[in-house]
Structure 1
Amino acid sequence: MKYLDLTTCSIADGKGFRLVLWCSGCEHHCEACQNEQSWDCNNGYEFTDKTIESIINELSDEYIYGLTLSGGDPMHKNNVLEIFKLCKKVKEQYPNKTIWLYTGYRFEDIWIPKNSVTNANFDLERGLRNDILNHIDVLVDGRYVKELRDIALPFRGSSNQRIIDVQKTLQEQKIVLFES
């Protein structure tokens, strides 16, 4: 996995002051994307154990609400294994910090509902995406759609994108939107 940047103290990428990891790699290629340089999964820096250490250290500041994963797409096939490991480590170290994740995928394309796992619908990539859901708090899903752009919307660029409370959704087994 590669990443483009690690931003400290963002207030635009989720609730509160946040640390943001900008992942490389995106297959969605949304028209008028704000971050086209992130499409190529070869752009940026190598994501290493030192990167994880840096993220864990940055999150130790009390005023940082949590981690936001953006990009590119953290759910890109080249990213899911490292993103899963990172989310697991962050939640172990800081269970009260929130993790937000932005993806061009829709929740329904990631989620494997309870009691529906079969060999026919399971592959490692989809399984890792589903496992990531177990470790994050909020998912902003859906491609950016230029025609639906709305700068008045908090934490998203177009009106088709949803801000999903992941843990409530998993508990209730239906989409529950995040209320700020």
Structure 2
Amino acid sequence: MNYADIRPIDVANGPGVRTSIFVSGCTHHCKECFNPETWDFAYGQPFGGEQKQEILDCLSKPYIRGLSLLGGEPFEPQNQRAVLELVRAVRARFPEKDIWCYSGYLFESLRDSQVGEYSQELLKELDVLVDGPFVLEKKDLSLRFRGSSNQRLIDVPASLRAGAAVLWDGAE
């Protein structure tokens, strides 16, 4: 997997102060995507142990609330294994930190293993999934943590227990 950027401090992609990684590769190609350079799976740099350690070091700071995974597309089949290894390392070291993931895929497709070999396993490691592609015609700048009104903020553990998407309530 390649990555486009690691942001040690990010306040836009989930609640609180976060660390974010933008992975490379996306087949959704949403009209007016804010990050179209990340559609190319070869864009950026290879992700490896050094980058994983950089993220873990960032997350060790007490003011960092959690990790956000963006792209590109973290759930692209080519990215799933590396992303899964990263989130498992984060969970093992920082169980108190939350993990958010932005995906153009729908929760139901990921839950039902319709996207790649590791989609269910990866989903189980997340706290919140922002799902659905960005749709220009539904763009709404007033929405919290998403760009278009079709996108949902999903409480993943509650959704997996319920067997259906449960929206994140945003309670802080």
- TM-score, with normalisation over the residues of structure 1? 0.92
- Give the equivalent residue in structure 1 for 2:118: 128
Counterparts of 1:95 and 1:172 in 2: how far apart (Å)? 22
Aligned pairs (5 A) from 1:21-170: 21-112=21-112, 126-170=116-160
Cα deviation digits, residues 115-138 of structure 1 (max 9, x gap): xxxxxxx68x63401100111100
Looking at structure 1, the residues matched to 135 and 111 of structure 2 have their Cα atoms a distance apart, in angstroms, of 22
The aligned amino acid for 1:145 is V
Q: Residue in 1 aligned with 2:6?
A: 6
| Residues 129-165 of structure 1, C-alpha deviations (whole Å, 9 max, x = no match) | 1100111100000000000000000000000000000
Output the amino acid matched with 1:102: Y
Unaligned runs of 5+ in 2: none
Q: 2:107 and 2:162 mapped to 1: Cα distance?
A: 14
> CA offsets per residue over residues 84-122 of structure 1, 9 Å max, x none?
11111100110010000000001111103xxxxxxxxx6
Report the Cα offset of residue 68 of structure 1.
0.2
Q: Aligned residue pairs: how many? A: 170
| Residue 167 (structure 2) aligns with | 177
How far has the Cα of 1:167 moved from its partner? 0.6
Q: Percent identity?
A: 39
Shift of 1:78: 1.5
CA contact (8 A) 2:8 2:55 kept: no
Q: Offset at 1:44?
A: 0.3
Unpaired segments of 5 or more residues in structure 1?
Answer: 113-121
Deviant stretches of 4+, over 6 Å: none
If the length of structure 2 is used for normalisation, what is the TM-score?
0.96
How far, CA to CA, are the matches of 1:99 and 1:154 in structure 2? Answer: 17
Q: Highest CA radius of gyration, 1 or 2?
A: 1
